């Protein structure tokens, strides 16, 4: 039982930091996904041969 408590005490801080960073990064990942979708839409409207709109 003591080993379990020691293990929990040693790992609690890194786990808490990882969870905090994952939650914080979620919005940035959503923004990045949105930007990639908009970029794809913008690129698909341009002809690949001469740069003019299709």
pLDDT value at position 21? 93
Q: What stretches of the chain show up as alpha helix (H) in DSSP?
A: 2-44
Task: State pTM to two decimals.
Answer: 0.51
**CA–CA separation, 11 vs 18, rounded Å?**
11
pLDDT value at position 44? 85
pLDDT value at position 51? 56
Question: How high is the mean pLDDT in each 10-residue block of the chain (54 residues)?
Answer: 85 93 91 92 73 56
Is residue 47 within 8 A of residue 53, CB to CB? The reply is yes
pLDDT value at position 7? 86
């Amino acid at each position: 039982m003591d080993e379990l408590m020691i293990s929990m005490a040693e790992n609690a801080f890194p786990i808490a930091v990882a969870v905090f960073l994952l939650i914080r990064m979620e919005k940035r990942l959503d923004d990045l996904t949105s930007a990639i979708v908009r970029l794809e839409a913008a690129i698909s409207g341009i002809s690949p041969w001469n740069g003019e709109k299709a």
